[in-house]
Amino acid sequence: MKLFDKFSGTLEIAEILTRPANHLLPIGISTDCLNSPVEGEMHGQKILLAGTNNYLGLTFHPQIKAAAQQALDTFGTGSTGSRMASGTYRIHTELEAALAKFFGKTQTILFTTGYQANLGMISTLIGPDDVLLLDADSHASIYDGARMSSGEVYRFRHNDPTDLAKRLRRLGSRAENALIVLEGIYSMLGDQVKLEEFVAVKKEYGGSILLDEAHSLGLIGPQGKGVAAEAGLLDEIDFIVGTFSKSLGCIGGYCTSHFPELELVRNNIRAYMFTASSAPSVVATAKAALKVLAEGDDLRTRLWQHARKLYGALQDLGFSLGPEPSPVVAVIMDSRERAAEAWQLLMSQGVYVNLVVPPASPNTSSLLRCSLSAAHSDENIDSIIDAYRTVAQKMGASSN
């Protein structure tokens, strides 16, 4: 069927990725069951999970599970409607208020997924007379929001405030109507945004900042509020977007802002208006997890101890890594074939990480992307290091 011809490249990639062991496809591998936030079974094998984005390990937290069960008993299994119709329950507006208070903002919009939060906000905010400037390594949801917008779109070099300043300078007075999109922690290599420098550029040339804290919520800042709070710059950030699927351990997204006009935007976001609202049990999970997150300094301390230990150990083994220690620890490989072979070798030792290949990875590199959890034990981290040591011994650590 001719409609499928365009997907032949996907088949070729799948064949490359399964070539070393010829049985497991690393992309979208199925988990049979979970025994804890960091232990599960895949294809009948017990696996240590080191690629789930479950940063604080809250998916099995008893207080959070109890809140989800109570909402299930009170509201049932789903909303069966959009927020514009029958899909707004009291629990939705309570979570919006809790998020606004948490960030010190006045307005919040909930989305059914984090992807929809970026897609909906960016595509709606940017009209024909507006300009969007985004980091070259932005998440796919940001790029898709850019594609669906009707304004001018420009990319600036990754995490480079000087390059952003150059592009704003060229815009002249139009810079005042520009939206600058940044991420707190970039999801592939784990590097942190140079927020103070970007805010200084914004103050000099104008524009607004939308900051995606998807991978930084819960990890950084007082009460885990993210990089903006850590830098004391919450008041300088016009829109904070995030997801519930990382540190909060469920699914959903949000945008929070100090602009009262956000309520006007709500009624124009197609990704919000024409999809069912989040299930009440999911909203209750996010609300309870937010409270645990705010009180979780011990979880953040443990998570960063793990991150520094793993990053240092892999560096000592000679692996090429992202630019700085982070709960996202990515080993950079120079080819899909070598990355897939290394991934299969890690799996054979009972350790699951994410295999990320172009175009999902930055540039042309392939990644073995590990995302750590506060639920990992010291012994778990040692097991991950031992598995990578075997990769280094059998394949060599260098990506070149």
Please compute the mean of the pLDDT values over residues 323-350 and round it to a whole number. Answer: 92
Q: How high is the pLDDT of residue 20?
A: 55
Q: Which residues, 6+ apart, have CB-to-CB distance to 175 below 8 Å?
A: 131, 168, 169, 205, 206, 207
Would you state the pLDDT for residue 118?
Answer: 98
Tell me the one-letter amino acid at 347.
M
**Angle between the N-to-C axes of helices 140-148 and 114-125, in degrees from 0 to 180, rounded to the nearest 10:** 30
Question: Alpha-carbon distance 364 to 361, whole Å?
Answer: 7
| pLDDT for the residue numbered 1 | 74
**Poorest-confidence range of 20-29, 94-103, 293-302?**
20-29
Query: pTM of the entire structure?
Result: 0.94
Average pLDDT over residues 308-324: 97
Q: E strand or H helix at 270, and its extent?
A: helix 270-273
Residue 55 — pLDDT band, cuts 50, 70, 90? very high
What's the farthest any 2 CA atoms get from each other in the chain? 61
CATH number of the domain at 16-56+297-395, please?
Answer: 3.90.1150.10
Q: Domain 62-294, what fold?
A: Aspartate Aminotransferase; domain 2 (3.40.640)
Q: Say yes or no to pLDDT of 399 above 60.
A: no
Domain coordinates of the chain in residue numbers? Answer: 16-56+297-395, 62-294
Determine the Cα–Cα distance for residues 38 and 36; give it in Å rounded to an integer.
5
The residue written with tokens 């059998």 in the block is 394
Say if residue 247's pLDDT is above 50. Answer: yes
Mean per-residue pLDDT over the chain, rounded: 93
Query: How far is the C-alpha of 186 from the C-alpha of 4, rounded, in Å?
Result: 33
Contact 119, 167 (CB under 8 A): no
Residue 17: predicted pLDDT = 65
Per-residue confidence (pLDDT) for residue 4, from 0 to 100 = 77
The whole-number average pLDDT for the span 86-109 is 97
* DSSP-derived 3-state class of residue 55: coil
Q: Report the range of poorest mean pLDDT among 14-28, 203-217, 230-244, 370-384.
A: 14-28
The first and second tokens of residue 39, run together, are 């232990």
Residue 18, pLDDT above cutoff 70: no
Please say if the pLDDT value at position 15 is more than 90.
no
Same fold, 16-56+297-395 and 62-294: no
Cα separation, 240 vs 188, whole angstroms: 20
At 187-198, the pLDDT tens digits run: 999 999 999 999
Report the pLDDT value the prediction gives residue 26, as an integer from 0 to 100. Answer: 67
Position 105 scores a pLDDT of: 97
d(C-alpha 381, C-alpha 388), whole Å:
11
Rounded CA separation 329/323 (Å): 10
What's the CA gap between 304 and 220, in Å, rounded?
10
